[in-house]
Each structure stands twice: as C-alpha cells, then as structure tokens.
Amino acid sequence: MTVPTTAALVGTTGGAGATRLTFELATALAADGRDVAILDTSFATQGLSDYVAGDLSPDATALLTDAADEPLGAGLVDVDTDTDGRVAACPADAPFERLARAMTSGAAQAFEGRIEEATDEFDHVLVDAPLFASNPAIGAATTCDHVALVAPATDRGADAVGRLTARASDVGADVDAVISTFGALDDADVVVPETDAGGVADAPAWRDDAEFAASVAAVASVLFDIDLADALDSGGVLSSVSEFVTK
C-alpha cells in the first residue's frame, strides 16, 4: 500500500479558511521533523503570499509560464517556523495577464510536474487549491494522493460540498475527506473549530490553542495517517485528536 504524501486542500467557498489550514498543517508536520512544500493554485486571491516574506520572483504562476524552465526551488520561499522540519512555500504573486496564462491546460500539466518535482525533495506536498476553478487546481486534484474539501460550517458550505464532490468526479478525482471549519458539518470527516488567533501574524495558531492543535493533528491523521499529538503537545494540554475526527 502506497503511503500518501501529497494532498490538495480545496476551499469550497470564499473564506473557508483553506489557505490558513494549509499553512497550519504544513507547520504542524514540520514540528514533527518533516519537510513540507506548499504550492499555490489560488491565483485569484493570492492569499498564501501573506504568509511569507522576501522575494516572490519567480512566483507560482511564473513557474508555469515565463519561468517554466527554471527549477521549482527558484520559486520556493522558506518560512521561519522554528520547527525541526522545513516549510517552503511557492505563492502566487502576479499581474492579471500572467494569471490568465497560468490557468491554461498546458499550465495544468506543468503544475502536475511541479508537484512531482516537489515530492523528490520534500516529505509532504500540500496544494492550496480553490474551488476546482482553474486547470492547475484540477491538475492538483488528479495528481495528489488525497483531496480534501475545506468547507465552512454553514448552509452555503454544506451545499458546496455536494457540488464540488460531483465536480471532482467529473474531472476524474476522488474526494477523500471533508474538513469543516468554524464549526461542525454533519458529513465532515474532521471538524476544525474557530480559534481566537485569526490573523496571519498569529499563525501558526496551534502553538497557543490546544483545541485547535488537536484539530490540525486530526487533519494530518485523516490525510496522511500520521500521529502528530506528541509533536504538538509540548505542554501536555493537547485535547484528544479523536474529538475532531467524526468518522
């Protein structure tokens, strides 16, 4: 049986918290000594760029277009997480003209190659993906070992889960998990509660919120069959991971 190492976290609606959860999961895996790459296909919102500092050239879109001949490492920015592992992100930070060129079917094939390139260097690859709304996002869903839908615990979020599950089937991908944010959805596999540390500057929030840390560990358990409880529980106050896994 192949051990899963790659996952696409797909936001089902705007504001679902998929980018934040992707970052939290990456840093949690790094706390366990794992090296993690975060690749961005949320080209329209470009939210991942808020979590990194420094030169973002070439960005994720350039690596699929103008800088397609450059190695992935040219666009990776290391994140200072103060953990034993490494987190490196490749955010989108581009003008509209390049965004459009980065959403073609050719760009999707190039993005699939970038995922494979990252797996050669990192223990895990996480893709921040929006709504299956672009060819690269669809490429991520069909290439990654697991696909998780990240949905807010609202009627809109619940409706979007059904819609995107059907969309995933249409493009030949399977939805392996539903992660509800800001509360519990009836059909969620993992429930991630709200945290008081909501701003980018407060990330990763799991350091200071035991309940939130347990929920992030639950995501790692469902997607990768990894137990992060010890890595995230230096103070011995981590809530039970099983509380947040509903199936």
* Residues 167 and 132 sit within 8 Å (Cβ to Cβ): yes
The reported pLDDT for the residue numbered 2 is 67
Per-residue burial over 129-159, b if 16 or more Cβ lie within 10 Å, else e, is bbbbbbbbbbbbbebbbbbbbbbbbbeebbe
The reported pLDDT for the residue numbered 195 is 84
The reported pLDDT for the residue numbered 234 is 62
Structural fold of domain 6-244: Rossmann fold (3.40.50)
Say how far apart CA 233 and CA 213 lie, in whole Å.
Answer: 8
A 10 A CB-CB count for 4 gives 15
pLDDT in tens, 15-67: 999 999 999 999 999 999 999 999 999 998 999 999 998 889 999 999 999 99
Question: What is the residue extent of each domain of the chain?
Answer: 6-244
Residues 6 or more apart whose CB falls under 8 angstroms from that of 213 comprise: 28, 206, 207, 232, 233, 238, 239
* Two structure tokens written together for 230: 């010890």
* CA-to-CA dists, residue 4 to 144, 155, 187, 195, 203, angstroms: 9, 31, 23, 28, 25
pTM: 0.95
Say how far apart CA 148 and CA 132 lie, in whole Å.
Answer: 12
The reported pLDDT for the residue numbered 236 is 58
Phi, psi of 192 (to 5 degrees): -110, 115
Low-confidence ranges of the chain (pLDDT < 70): 1-2, 198, 234-237
Task: Report the amino acid identity of residue 138.
Answer: I
